[in-house]
Structures are given as structure tokens and as C-alpha cells.
Amino acid sequence: MNKKLLAVAVAATLAAPVALADVSTSGSIRVGVEGKSAGWSVFNGGSRLRFKASEDLGNGQTAFTTYEFGVDAAGGSIGGGSTNRVTLVGLKGDWGSISLGSQWSATFSAVGTYACIHSKYGCSGYQGKYRVGNSVVFATTAGPLWIIADAQMDDSTTDNIDNASIGGKMSLGGVSLGAAYRENGDNDYTGIGASMSLAGVGIYGYYSSTKTGGDSHGIGAKMAGIKATYEKSTADASEITVEYGIGLGGGTSLKLLANDTDSRTAGSMILRQDF
């Protein structure tokens, strides 16, 4: 009799509805063709598959997580590597958010978004961190100011904190400003970025500096689907990138790019579908 009761209890437990976090799936397939002096090639343009989940914890608090996988859509495989994509878990509320894992750095969030705007090429003078693994990121707002800070901690050094960054962004009307600082031993990073809209033309620029890399900068404009950027890198090398985006409907678009540096000239076409 006890065994029958136990079986009924187990079956009832398995049949009972289980409260799960809200999960969403999204991604982007980006494959392109590039031509340069060495010949032609088909390449992956940053394809990815993403799972996001969130759960209401009550009292205005929410738990959230992201699993993002890099995909080599040109070769047909799931990518890998250190800090290849965003994988994080965190908590957020009226006070802001805190997250742990591999995630966008404070320097990229505050300055890199003004520097790395093309689907391929460019971003040669940014010098800051992109994604940071083994990290803790805190973000909050104070009026019109958005503040973000990160700290990387792993077993590769004897330091408790390997490096740390702080940055912020502020938007006033059509003007956006960003600044960031990264403490990294003898090679600290400082960067600023800005963008504005003037008579239908978007203007953007950035400045980056490290002790070993020196100063670098970039400036550009975008209008009617065209983005053009001029950059001066730390090695005093210049780079020009021009991109034209064509929306084909829904989440599908075509990107046409041309890039010229002191050492080579290249062009590419990227077909992209976001879902």
C-alpha cells in the first residue's frame, strides 16, 4: 500500500506544472564575400545564436541570464574561444543591475560603441576591452547619466582584481557623450566618444589612449544608410571605411563595404538575417 501511495505521489509531482523563467530565442546569420589583392573568400561576419531568460523575483527584482554562442555560418560550426560571446547571469531592480560571466566591458559600452560601428573593418584605434570574461559588471542610472563598472577576476595572476573599468554615457537632446577609464597596471586606458545629429546627418567620433599604444582617434558620419569613418591608429596608420546598408524587408539586410589602409584595399558584401 505504501508503495502504491509513493507511486501516486511521484506521478502527481511530475505532472504538476513547473514555474519556469520566460525564455526567448534570437540570433543573427551573417555571411559575406570579400575581395582583396590576395583573392576572394567567403567569410563569417559574426553570426550568433542567443538564448535569454528572465524571472520575476518579486519586490521589483528580476533575475536574468543570457547564453550567446558564436556561430561560424560560413564553415558550419558553433564557435568557441575565450569571451567569444556573452554568457551571463544577473539581478536587476530600481537600483540598477549586477551580472557575472562573460559580458561587454565598461570601456566598450561607454566608448567602443562610438568606434566600432561597421559590420566589418574599422575600429582600429579603439584600444579598449571588448567582452570581458570572468567578470562582474554593475550598471545604474543617475538622472540622465548611465554609469557602468566592471572588474575581471580569474586565476591567471596573484592579484584579486586583474583589471577594472568604469564608464558613463549621457544623452542631452541630439547629443550623446561617453567616457571610460580602465585600470590595467602600467597600461591604463582612457577614452571618450561622442555623437550628434545635425540636419539629418549623424556625426560621431572617439579618442583612445594607452601608455604602450599612445593616442588614436576616429571620426565619421552617417546619412541615408551610408556610414563613412576615418581612423588614425596607434602606429600612425590611417584607415578609411565606407558602408552602405540596404534593408530587404523584415530582419534581412545587405551590407556593402569598402576599406582602405596603408597596406591594402578590400571590399566585401554581407548578407544578414536577424531572427
Residue 15 lies in a domain: no
Looking at the chain, how many residues does it have?
Answer: 275
Which residue range(s) make up the domain with 32?
22-274
Secondary element (H or E) of residue 256? strand 252-261
Is there a contact between 96 and 138 (Cβ–Cβ < 8 Å)?
Answer: yes
Residue 1 lies in a domain: no
Residue 50 lies in a domain: yes
pLDDT greater at residue 156 or residue 58: 58
- Name the nearest CA neighbour of 218 among 127, 129, 123: 123
* Mean pLDDT, range 150-157, rounded to an integer: 80
Residue 6 lies in a domain: no
- Calculate the dihedral angle through the C-alpha atoms of 31, 35, 36, 42, rounding to the nearest 10 degrees: 40
The grid cell for 63 is: 533575475
- Name the nearest CA neighbour of 144 among 164, 123, 169, 178: 169
Cα separation, 79 vs 59, in Å, equals 39
> DSSP alpha helices (H): ranges in 85-164?
106-107, 113-115
- Name the nearest CA neighbour of 30 among 48, 17, 43, 45: 45
Residue 60 lies in a domain: yes
Share of the chain above pLDDT 90, in %: 79
Give me the pLDDT at residue 93, please.
98
- In tens, the pLDDT along 5-31 reads 444 444 444 444 444 578 999 999 999
Cα separation, 19 vs 63, in Å, equals 14
Cα separation, 191 vs 182, in Å, equals 9
Cα separation, 273 vs 275, in Å, equals 7
- In tens, the pLDDT along 200-240 reads 899 999 999 999 999 999 999 999 999 999 999 877 799 99
Cα separation, 150 vs 106, in Å, equals 6
pLDDT greater at residue 114 or residue 2: 114
Residue appearing with cell numbers 579618442 = 207
Residue 11 lies in a domain: no
CATH number, position 138: 2.40.160.10
pLDDT greater at residue 3 or residue 164: 164
Considering its fold, how many domains does the chain have in total?
1
- In tens, the pLDDT along 186-202 reads 899 999 999 999 988 99
Whether 48 shows a pLDDT value over 90: the answer reads yes
Cα separation, 242 vs 7, in Å, equals 68
The grid cell for 214 is: 599612445
- In tens, the pLDDT along 51-98 reads 999 999 999 999 999 999 999 999 999 876 655 799 999 999 999 999
Residue 17 lies in a domain: no
Share of the chain above pLDDT 70, in %: 89
Residue 84 lies in a domain: yes
Whether 272 shows a pLDDT value over 60: the answer reads yes
